[in-house]
């Protein structure tokens, strides 16, 4: 007998979880945020994910999101090329990845998030990136992510919904351990993560697994 897949969390459940997690994020002391930022960089460096020549998309933390400033600084020192997500069509909720040169001025979009100016910064196709670091509101051990609800990342990375074999770019969600939940029911448009980065470690995910495992770097 064919079993129907579980239905996605409804809009009320998702919004309630977002409110709860954002409140917990905002309550995190500044010292803990700073320590986490350093831990993110140390862990990515230890797993050899910031190698020279790699094309990496990061983000500038907005509000209480996990801070990637130390990751960006280390990636530059190691010779990586950095890109940032940029909203290029707000009406269609379209986001692209634009080059983030050191010292280049960033503009603030309608959501108050710093991003490169599309008039001047070079674009890159998502498939050409090696690694994308994604903010999250909540996550589970099977690699499902609850984001802000606008769907920008899911649209920009929709080609990654096809299968769980090795493909580009590798997608790593960045957050805190308290954002882990037992289970998130994915919506049809959700893009699964390849790994989760928290101050406690870098964990690969397996769709059928119940626990996360240490991530081994790929060539």
Residue 181, judged by CB atoms within 10 A of its CB (0-12, 13-18, 19+), counts as: middle
What is the distance between the alpha carbons of residues 87 and 95, in angstroms, rounded to a whole number?
Answer: 4
Tokens of 184: 């998130």
pLDDT tens across 124-178, in order? 999 999 999 999 999 999 999 999 878 899 999 988 886 555 568 999 999 999 9
Residue with more model confidence, 55 or 13: 55
Spatial neighbors of 151 by CB under 8 A, at least 6 apart, are: 93, 189
**Average confidence (pLDDT) over 89-118:** 93
Rounded to the nearest 5°, which phi and psi values hold at 213?
A: -125, 155
Residue with more model confidence, 163 or 102: 102
pLDDT tens across 182-215, in order? 999 888 889 999 999 999 999 988 765 333 444 4
CATH hierarchy code of domain 11-213: 3.40.50.10420
| DSSP-based three-state secondary structure for 102 | coil
What is residue 180's DSSP assignment?
A: B
Check residue 103 and give its pLDDT. Answer: 87
Q: What are the residue ranges spanned by the domains of the chain?
A: 11-213
Q: What pTM was estimated for this model as a whole?
A: 0.86
């Amino acid at each position: 007998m064919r079993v129907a897949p579980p239905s996605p969390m409804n809009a009320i459940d998702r919004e309630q979880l977002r409110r709860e997690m954002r409140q917990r994020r905002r309550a995190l002391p500044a010292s803990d945020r700073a320590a986490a930022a350093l831990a993110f960089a140390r862990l990515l460096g230890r797993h050899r994910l910031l190698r020279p020549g790699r094309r990496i998309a990061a983000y500038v933390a907005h509000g209480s999101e996990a801070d990637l400033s130390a990751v960006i600084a280390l990636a530059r020192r190691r010779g990586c090329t950095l890109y940032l997500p940029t909203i290029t069509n707000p009406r269609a909720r379209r986001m692209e990845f634009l080059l983030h040169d050191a010292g280049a001025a960033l503009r603030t979009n309608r959501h108050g998030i710093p991003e490169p100016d599309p008039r001047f910064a070079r674009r890159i196709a998502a498939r050409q990136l090696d690694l994308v670091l994604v903010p999250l509101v909540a996550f589970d051990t099977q690699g499902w992510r609850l984001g802000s609800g606008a769907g920008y990342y899911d649209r920009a990375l929709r080609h990654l919904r096809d299968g769980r074999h090795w493909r580009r770019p590798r997608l790593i969600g960045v957050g805190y351990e308290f954002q882990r939940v037992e289970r998130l029911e994915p919506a049809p448009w959700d893009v699964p993560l390849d790994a989760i980065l928290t101050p406690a470690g870098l964990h690969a995910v397996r769709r059928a697994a119940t626990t996360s495992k240490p991530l081994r770097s790929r060539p």
